[in-house]
Amino acid sequence: MTTHVLAIAGGVGGAKLALGLTRVLAPDQLTIAVNTGDDETFHGLHVSPDLDTVMYTLAGMSNPETGWGIAGETFRALGALQRLGANTWFRLGDLDLATHIRRTQLLRDGLTLSQATRELTSALGIRHPIVPMSDDVLRTVAVTDDGELAFQEYFVHRHCEPRIAGIRFEGAATARPSPGLWAALASATAIVYCPSNPLVSIGPVLALAGVRDAIAAFAGPKIAVSPIVGGQAVKGPAAKMMAELGEEVSCVGVARRYAGVCDAIFIDTVDAANAGAIEGMGMRAYVTDTVMHTDDDKEALARQIVGIVEAWDE
Amino acid sequence: MTTHVLAIAGGVGGAKLALGLTRVLAPDQLTIAVNTGDDETFHGLHVSPDLDTVMYTLAGMSNPETGWGIAGETFRALGALQRLGANTWFRLGDLDLATHIRRTQLLRDGLTLSQATRELTSALGIRHPIVPMSDDVLRTVAVTDDGELAFQEYFVHRHCEPRIAGIRFEGAATARPSPGLWAALASATAIVYCPSNPLVSIGPVLALAGVRDAIAAFAGPKIAVSPIVGGQAVKGPAAKMMAELGEEVSCVGVARRYAGVCDAIFIDTVDAANAGAIEGMGMRAYVTDTVMHTDDDKEALARQIVGIVEAWDE
């Protein structure tokens, strides 16, 4: 059976492993399904932060310092928008704006988000399929001690400062997986959870109607990469959020999050001592260097994962 | 009676005289009604070229070399849009894009074009009222030997190369004047046709439901400034269009265009010999320097016009 990996990804960490996987697998061997729970409308434009991070990364356009945004970005339009009275706490660059303008136009023209994403990725020369998790609206809401906040409001505007009491996925009851995600759930030979935030990057995908059940029933290996290394998130607020929700901030906490929809978890060498606890939960634990600095790191981790996938036997 | 001038303007030439008038008249003595027949949707964004030219000019932001656009403009987003497969023959700059993004958002939020224009001009610190000619859709269509072309398609994309056989104002039967234009038609003491293209800048305003009749019945002086000087348009395609329509390309041809809705016309000193022909049509002719290079030129012409207005007696 030809290997076909369904990689489920959020933003920066997800994009890194997704890039690695594109170096190991052919375009018809990989589907990258990306969280859209963070999508937001700014200035009337549809912004898909995680889709864009994956797209810019695979197109070789991403800002190497931040992992998101476009290298060499400028913010002239944003300055002018601010002068015109617009709220500009979400920093949209001039190059990035073009993506949102184009996507919004395509959506208004009647394309689905999947179709619009295909247009954009194809124009950027990306050969591996990137699909949104859904063409419907599912929005991640942070339930905090300062009230309910739309995810970008919490994450970007409030710098994750309010204490989290819960996470809610608005629209989850009716939002269906996109055709690309659904097809991959049916035809893939393995599922990989990229090292993205389990709560707000992978969580929304699992919350889509029918997805958790489909993954639970999935025959092939389901392998996660822990985004928590040495008790800290490699990037982003995952550790703070898990702590505020009373979860263990470790790769074991991550494994608990994935219980029932995961067979194995890649943990970092610094967390080797946790392998036993994970295996005690009925999952395999693979210990390796999981922090990806260079493109070679990304490819090396992807190659190990694909190796496990191809050697998998129940 | 306090002077209140209703200035009807198109793009660059109109903006010049409008600026001059703002130096002579207080904000409550002037209404600048601007052609929106050229408005177009690009990338899903509502672009109002003439409104923007007047707005940028009055805000001191305009590009002094072109008369339109913003000084120091860059085109990074446009380059990215082109890469994404968008049609980019209409050159939207990064700073300019902010205007279109903001306007489009305000319109989608339910504001009228008049209200959106007030938001934009107020944010830019413009104190004199700039109003769109209409909040409804009237679109100028060039009927050419190469078929019917939307105005920007004809003007910008095709560089006015197709031969004009006529001009059509789509929606004119139902498009009403904006509240600001209508109020000024009722309360102004004078009407000034700025030196804009009589066919496609002033023509659309006159084509709005009820406007030509209201102006014909208007009690105060109606004064035009000829945009044709020495048989040529100061800027733009007015001369070529008039010639192709079989009209005399001179200030006399302009006067004929305004017959019935105009009492007097300012013509350039190089056209002094035409004064008699214009007076023979029952209009007064004022001979002066009408080509405005500097802001002082603009103010000087405005001051002469206001002087005539204030000394007017039937």
pLDDT, tens digit, 9 for 90 and up, residues B65-88: 888 899 999 999 999 999 999 999
Angle at A121 between CA A70 and CA A100, to 5 degrees: 55
Cα→Cα distances A131→A10, A39, B284, Å:
12, 14, 69
- By C-alpha distance, which of A197, A204, A205, A229 is closest to A31? A205
What does the DSSP assignment read for A133-145?
A: S-SS--EEEEEET
Q: How do residues A13-50 score in pLDDT, each as one tens digit?
A: 999 999 999 999 999 999 999 999 999 999 999 999 99
Q: Which two tokens stand for residue A142?
A: 């942070």
Q: Is the dihedral of CA B1, B2, B6, B7 positive or negative?
A: positive
Same domain membership, residue A154 and residue A71: no
Provide the domain limits for residue B233.
5-136+169-311
Same domain membership, residue A71 and residue A150: no
Amino acid at B243: A
Query: Residues of B with CB below 8 A from A101's CB?
Result: 43-45, 77, 81, 86, 97, 101
Are the CB atoms for B14 and B34 separated by under 8 Å? yes
Q: Which two tokens stand for residue B63?
A: 């590009």
Q: Which helix (H) or strand (E) holds A190?
A: strand A190-193
Q: Residue B249: inside a domain, yes or no?
A: yes
Q: What is the pLDDT of residue A314?
A: 62
The edge-to-edge listing of strands for the beta sheet with A147-150 is A147-150, A139-144, A164-170
Query: What single-letter DSSP state applies at residue B4?
Result: -
Q: Residue B162: inside a domain, yes or no?
A: no
Same domain membership, residue A204 and residue A245: yes
B295 phi and psi, to 5 degrees? -65, -30
Cα→Cα distances B71→A151, B63, B65, Å:
37, 4, 8
Q: What is the average pLDDT value for chain B, to the nearest integer?
A: 96
Q: How do residues B278-288 score in pLDDT, each as one tens digit?
A: 999 999 999 99
Q: What is the average pLDDT value for chain A, to the nearest integer?
A: 96
Q: List all residues 6 or more positions away from B187 whose beta carbon is below 8 Å from its beta carbon.
A: B4
Asked if A287 is an interface residue toward chain B (Cβ–Cβ < 8 A), one would say no
What does the DSSP assignment read for A76-118?
A: HHHHHHHHTT----S---HHHHHHHHHHHHHHHTT--HHHHHH
CA distance B224 to B97: 33
Quick one: pLDDT band at residue A87, thresholds 50, 70, 90?
very high
Percent pLDDT > 90 in chain A is 96
CA distance B284 to B222: 10
Q: Residue B152: inside a domain, yes or no?
A: no
Q: Residue B163: inside a domain, yes or no?
A: no
Q: Which two tokens stand for residue B89?
A: 């023959």
Q: Considering only the beta carbons, identify the residue of A44, A97, A108 that sits closest to B97.
A: A97
Average pLDDT over residues A136-160: 96
Work out the minimum CA distance from B79 to partner chain A, whole angstroms. 8
Amino acid at A11: G
Residue at token pair 């004009």? B164
For residue B101, give the chain A residue with the closest CA. A43
Same domain membership, residue A233 and residue A84: yes
Query: Residues of A with CB below 8 A from B83's CB?
Result: 98, 123-124
The answer on pLDDT for B313 being more than 90 is no
Q: How do residues B105-144 score in pLDDT, each as one tens digit?
A: 999 999 999 999 999 999 999 999 999 999 999 999 999 9
Chosen for mutation from A102, A103, A106, A111 (greatest number of chain B CBs closer than 10 Å) is A102
Are the CB atoms for A48 and A146 separated by under 8 Å? no
Quick one: pLDDT band at residue A67, thresholds 50, 70, 90?
confident
For residue A74, give the chain B residue with the closest CA. B76
What is the CATH classification number for the domain harbouring A254?
A: 3.40.50.10680
Residue at token pair 């036993």? A276
Considering just the CA atoms, what is the radius of gyration of chain B in Å? 19
Query: Residues of A with CB below 8 A from B85's CB?
Result: 102, 119, 123
Q: What is the pLDDT of residue A244?
A: 96
Q: How do residues A172-221 score in pLDDT, each as one tens digit?
A: 999 999 999 999 999 999 999 999 999 999 999 999 999 999 999 999 99
Amino acid at A301: L
Same domain membership, residue A148 and residue A18: no
Query: Residues of A with CB below 8 A from B62's CB?
Result: none
Q: At what angle do helices B12-24 and B295-311 cross, to 10 degrees?
A: 70
Asked if B1 is an interface residue toward chain A (Cβ–Cβ < 8 A), one would say no
The answer on pLDDT for B44 being more than 80 is yes
Q: Considering only the beta carbons, identify the residue of A45, A76, A83 that sits closest to B101.
A: A45
The answer on pLDDT for B226 being more than 80 is yes
Amino acid at B113: L
Q: Considering only the beta carbons, identify the residue of B79, B85, B98 that sits closest to A80.
A: B98
Are the CB atoms for B199 and B236 separated by under 8 Å? no
CA distance B271 to B267: 6
Interface of A with B in 95-124 (CB under 8 A): 95, 97-99, 101-102, 104-105, 108, 119-120, 123-124
Are the CB atoms for B12 and B68 separated by under 8 Å? yes
- By C-alpha distance, which of A139, A170, A166, A168 is closest to A244? A166
Q: What is the pLDDT of residue B246?
A: 95
Q: Which two tokens stand for residue B128?
A: 């004199």
Q: How do residues A246-266 score in pLDDT, each as one tens digit?
A: 999 999 999 999 999 999 999
The edge-to-edge listing of strands for the beta sheet with B5-9 is B130-132, B30-34, B5-9, B190-193, B222-225, B264-268, B284-288
Q: Is the dihedral of CA A272, A276, A280, A285 positive or negative?
A: positive
Same domain membership, residue A178 and residue A84: yes
- How many other C-beta atoms can be found within 10 angstroms of the C-beta atom of residue A272? 13
Are the CB atoms for B205 and B35 separated by under 8 Å? yes
Q: Considering only the beta carbons, identify the residue of B43, B44, B102 that sits closest to A84.
A: B102
- By C-alpha distance, which of A101, A131, A121, A4 is closest to A60? A121
Work out the minimum CA distance from B124 to partner chain A, whole angstroms. 7
Average pLDDT over residues B239-258: 96
Q: Which helix (H) or strand (E) holds B96?
A: helix B94-108
Are the CB atoms for A48 and A71 separated by under 8 Å? no
Q: Do B124 and A80 touch (CB under 8 A)?
A: no
Q: Do A101 and B76 touch (CB under 8 A)?
A: no
Q: Do B98 and A85 touch (CB under 8 A)?
A: no
B215 burial level (CB within 10 Å; 0-12, 13-18, 19+): buried
Q: Which two tokens stand for residue B11?
A: 């793009």
Same domain membership, residue A215 and residue A68: yes
Query: Residues of A with CB below 8 A from B99's CB?
Result: 80, 84
Q: Residue B10: inside a domain, yes or no?
A: yes
- By C-alpha distance, which of A40, A71, A77 is closest to B78? A77
Asked if B72 is an interface residue toward chain A (Cβ–Cβ < 8 A), one would say no
Work out the minimum CA distance from B104 to partner chain A, whole angstroms. 8
Query: Residues of B with CB below 8 A from A42's CB?
Result: none
Q: Residue B156: inside a domain, yes or no?
A: no
B145 burial level (CB within 10 Å; 0-12, 13-18, 19+): exposed
Q: Considering only the beta carbons, identify the residue of A79, A102, A124 that sits closest to B81.
A: A102
Q: What is the pLDDT of residue A19?
A: 98
Q: Which two tokens stand for residue A202?
A: 């992978």
Q: Do A102 and B78 touch (CB under 8 A)?
A: no
Work out the minimum CA distance from B306 to partner chain A, whole angstroms. 32
Q: Considering only the beta carbons, identify the residue of B44, B99, B102 that sits closest to A104.
A: B44
Angle at B123 between CA B93 and CA B140, to 5 degrees: 55
Considering just the CA atoms, what is the radius of gyration of chain A in Å? 19
Q: Residue B301: inside a domain, yes or no?
A: yes
Percent pLDDT > 90 in chain B is 96
Same domain membership, residue A76 and residue A29: yes
Q: Considering only the beta carbons, identify the residue of A77, A102, A124 that sits closest to B95.
A: A77
Q: How do residues B166-197 score in pLDDT, each as one tens digit?
A: 999 999 999 999 999 999 999 999 999 999 99
Work out the minimum CA distance from B72 to partner chain A, whole angstroms. 11
Task: Give ipTM to 2 decimals.
Answer: 0.93
Query: Residues of B with CB below 8 A from A81's CB?
Result: 98, 101-102
Are the CB atoms for B14 and B52 separated by under 8 Å? no
Q: Considering only the beta carbons, identify the residue of A86, A95, A105 that sits closest to B80.
A: A95
Q: Residue B238: inside a domain, yes or no?
A: yes
The answer on pLDDT for A1 being more than 80 is no
Q: How many helices (H) and strands (E) does chain A have?
A: 13, 14
Query: Residues of B with CB below 8 A from A94's CB?
Result: 74, 76-77, 80, 94
For residue A72, give the chain B residue with the closest CA. B76
Q: Looking at the 3D structure of chain A, how many domains does it have?
A: 2
Q: Do B77 and A98 touch (CB under 8 A)?
A: yes
Cα→Cα distances B285→A311, B23, B48, Å:
93, 24, 33
Query: Residues of B with CB below 8 A from A44's CB?
Result: 101, 104-105, 108
